[in-house]
């Protein structure tokens, strides 16, 4: 029999949804982030396989309050993920699940105010790209920040003056969209940075 489509009322505006990656098996856990609420939240959901045509709905197994509107979620492995928000910060969190239907979301590292205005005040971080433990964030300040899950200090901050806009290019394919920037570094040759900026189906 065909699988049923089930919905559940979440009580807040959701901006991002990401399935938790698993090795060799289908995932039954997904993560959501909210926006435009008095207090925003990261919420971990369990949606077990539908067996015997039972009416099974997603249920909450973990929640974590978050400052600012959540603008992006990216998993770097099956238990750790990064989050960006409108307060200009990026945080690394870990899923700590000791029980099958109960988990805690614990903050591992925070890169605070890495996107900001020169006159003071934070500005939104609008996107993230990840490759294993390496992270790139982009913000409305026109800057790229290179981070790694292995250290608190940002690896590099690339200001808009170092980005060659005329050399940026965008490419689309079946699973999402990517964009690259040609940067002017201190060495004899420019550097090229590629970011995967969107992913289907979310």
**Is residue 99 assigned to a domain?**
yes
**pLDDT on residue 172:** 43
pLDDT confidence tier of residue 186, bands split at 50, 70 and 90 = very low
Asked whether residue 6 is domain-assigned, the answer is no
Q: Dump the DSSP string for 55-86.
A: ----EEEEEEEESS-EEEEEESSSSEEEEEET
pLDDT of residue 12 exceeding 80: yes
pLDDT at 23: 83
**Mean pLDDT of the chain, nearest integer:** 80
User: Residue 63 domain-assigned?
Assistant: yes
Q: Tokens standing for 186?
A: 């201190």
pTM: 0.77
pLDDT, mean of residues 35-44: 95
52 or 127, higher pLDDT: 127
Is 4 within the bounds of a domain?
Answer: no
pLDDT score recorded for residue 102? 84
Encode pLDDT of 165-175 as tens digits.
433 343 444 44
Per-residue pLDDT tens digits for 111-159:
999 998 888 788 999 999 999 999 999 999 989 999 999 999 999 999 8
Mean pLDDT, residues 26-50 taken together: 91
Residue 22 lies in a domain: yes
| Total domains, the chain | 1
For the cut 70, the answer to whether the pLDDT of residue 80 exceeds it is yes
CA distance 86 to 71: 7
- Over 70: is that where the pLDDT of 77 sits? yes
User: CA 109 to CA 91: how far, in whole Å?
Assistant: 6
Least confident span in 34-43, 84-93, 169-178? 169-178
Asked, for residue 3, whether it belongs to a domain, the answer is: no
Q: Which of 12-16, 81-85, 135-139, 156-160 has the lowest mean pLDDT?
A: 156-160
DSSP state of 2: P
Q: Range of 18's domain?
A: 14-199
Q: How far is CA 99 from CA 32, 61, 94, 104, in A?
A: 20, 10, 15, 10
**In angstroms, rounded to a whole number, what is the distance separating the alpha carbons of residues 132 and 124?**
24
For residue 144, which of 166, 129, 131 has the smallest C-alpha distance? 129
| Structure confidence at residue 9 (pLDDT) | 80
- pLDDT given for residue 128 in this prediction: 95
Q: Is 8 inside any structural domain?
A: no
Using 50, 70 and 90 to split pLDDT, how confident is the model at 100?
low
77 assigned to some structural domain? yes
Rounded to 5 degrees, φ, ψ at 161 are -70, -20
Give the CATH number of the domain where residue 52 resides. 2.130.10.10
Give residue 127's pLDDT: 94
């Amino acid at each position: 029999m065909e699988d049923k489509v089930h919905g559940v009322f979440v009580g807040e505006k959701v901006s991002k949804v990401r399935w938790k990656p698993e090795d060799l098996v289908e995932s039954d856990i997904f993560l959501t982030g909210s926006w435009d609420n008095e207090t925003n939240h990261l919420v971990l959901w369990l949606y077990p396989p539908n067996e015997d045509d039972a009416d099974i709905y997603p249920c909450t197994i973990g929640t974590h309050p978050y400052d600012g509107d959540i603008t992006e979620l990216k998993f770097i492995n099956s238990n750790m993920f990064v989050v960006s928000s409108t307060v200009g910060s990026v945080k690394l969190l870990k899923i700590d699940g000791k029980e099958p239907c109960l988990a805690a979301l614990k903050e591992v590292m925070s890169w605070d105010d890495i996107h900001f205005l020169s006159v003071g005040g934070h500005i939104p971080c609008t996107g993230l790209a990840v490759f294993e433990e390496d992270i790139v964030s982009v913000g409305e300040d026109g800057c790229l920040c290179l981070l790694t899950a292995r250290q608190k200090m940002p690896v590099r901050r690339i200001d808009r003056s170092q980005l060659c806009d005329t050399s940026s290019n965008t490419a689309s394919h079946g699973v999402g969209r990517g964009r690259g920037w040609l940067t002017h570094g201190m060495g004899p040759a420019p550097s090229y940075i590629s970011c995967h900026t969107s992913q289907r189906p979310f």
